Amino acid sequence: MKFSEYRLSDEIKRNLEEMGFKRPTDIQFKCIPSIQKGEDVLAIAQTGTGKTAAFAIPVIDKIQAIKSKTKSQAIRALVMVPTRELAVQINQVFNQIGKKTKVKTASIYGGVEQDQQIEKLLQGVDILVSTPGRMFDLVHQGFIKLDRIEVLILDEADRMLDLGFNKDIQDTIRLLPRNRQTLFFSATIDKNIKKLAYAIVRDAIRIQISPKDPVSKNIHHQVAFVEMDDKRFFLQRLIAENDTQKFLVFVRTKVRAERVKKALERLDISSDSLHGDKEQKDRENVLQKFKDGENLVLIATDVSARGIDIPNVDWVVNYDIPEVAENYVHRIGRTGRGVQKGEAISFCSKEEKELLEQIEAYTSYPINRAKVTKAEYQETLDIEKEKKNDWRSLIDEH
């Protein structure tokens, strides 16, 4: 079934066509009809499967229909998200899909001055995308009223629980009308997620798109055993031999992000870093430069692993093995999105082998090993030597 055959407004259909959306993904195909019927939905799906559009398309259509019947201005839909970056991204998707529909979407989040956000709210907002902290600040100041909410969406709900937002979610629900539609989206389902979900949804339609392999089939991913002090040389070689491609490099901490950035600078490789110590404006600029291809190497902590849709990432490099096995899937899910293919490589030191075992227990299969001989390893360390072998040839493609 094509989007052109859906019961959607002409404006939304045109916008989807302009965005290159011809047919729905599995999660969109299963969610959109239920949301259009007004049913509560509990949706579990892999990263990169099109979850945002799965709720954005029907919610915009619903709010557009409400606006055609009433002139009263109010926030009709609330999207709660765990991070600032995700709030910005979802806001962009809503604005793209809702172009020329007169449905106004705005995002609010902490880390920036609130004056501009208040100005947007005063101009009138139909759909609000927000992190919990800033939303409560503005609720208490009287700039946000949630008594006319028709739809509540919790996105990346598992991540919200990880960040300790459970109380904020419960406090928000107390401010909302009882007669509302609730949409609950998460990448994983466990007892904590189930408890939260069933506390806020009523007779929900459960939709689960989760194949046995949690890693997208579009991603070719492997692990190379590299000592901690040698990782920078392997990263340098990989980037140098693929110097027109886009790299997203994940490290464990903010301090590590800056250290790796400086190490690459000493090796004449330009990069940017993204982590929680950066001001919001700087984070947005760094992300935009990476998205636009002005900078091809981004070194990030897990703040960027969840939900952020960065187009055309050719390589994901786990410079540090993630301490939470689940984050492995979310990290490498930044490449191979949609119909695109992607490469992922993890550098595993002796100290990190236990973490690798936990990841393999989570994915239920061993990750392919990159074959690097002692001679090839030594050659990579000797960065002054002319490199005779292409790094990609060191990786087993099978």
Structural domains in the chain, CATH included, are 3-209 (3.40.50.300), 219-394 (3.40.50.300)
pLDDT at 398 over 50: no
What are 256's two structure tokens?
Answer: 């590590």
Query: What's the pLDDT score for residue 387?
Result: 45
List the beta bridge partners of residue 344.
Answer: 221, 316
Average pLDDT, the chain: 89
* pLDDT band at residue 397 using 50, 70 and 90 as cut-offs: very low
Q: Which stretch of 265-274, 278-287, 377-386 has the lowest confidence by average pLDDT?
A: 377-386
d(CA 196, CA 194): 5
* pLDDT band at residue 325 using 50, 70 and 90 as cut-offs: confident
Residues in CB range of 311: below 8 A, 6 or more apart:
291, 337
Query: What's the pLDDT score for residue 237?
Result: 92
User: Where is pLDDT greater, at 215 or 391?
Assistant: 215
Mean pLDDT computed over 57-85:
93
Query: What's the pLDDT score for residue 111?
Result: 83
389: exposed, middle or buried (Cβ count in 10 Å: 0-12, 13-18, 19+)? middle
pLDDT at 7 over 70: yes
Residues in CB range of 162: below 8 A, 6 or more apart:
82
> E strands, 245-311, where?
247-250, 272-274, 297-300
* pLDDT band at residue 47 using 50, 70 and 90 as cut-offs: low
Asked whether the CA dihedral 235, 236, 237, 242 is positive or negative, the reply is positive
* pLDDT band at residue 244 using 50, 70 and 90 as cut-offs: very high
Given phi > 0 = left and psi -120 to 50 = alpha, else beta, which region is 309? beta
Mean pLDDT computed over 190-212:
81
pLDDT at 91 over 70: yes
3 state SS of 311: coil
d(CA 127, CA 320): 38
285: exposed, middle or buried (Cβ count in 10 Å: 0-12, 13-18, 19+)? middle
What are 317's two structure tokens?
Answer: 């490099």
Residues in CB range of 220: below 8 A, 6 or more apart:
341, 342, 343, 344, 397
What are 229's two structure tokens?
Answer: 């002090």
Q: What is the DSSP letter of 112?
A: S
Q: What digits encode the pLDDT tens for the residues 336-349?
A: 877 789 999 999 99
Q: Which stretch of 185-194, 266-275, 320-329 has the lowest confidence by average pLDDT?
A: 185-194
Mean pLDDT computed over 86-93:
92
Mean pLDDT computed over 145-158:
93
List the beta bridge partners of residue 383.
Answer: none
162: exposed, middle or buried (Cβ count in 10 Å: 0-12, 13-18, 19+)? middle
pLDDT at 21 over 90: yes
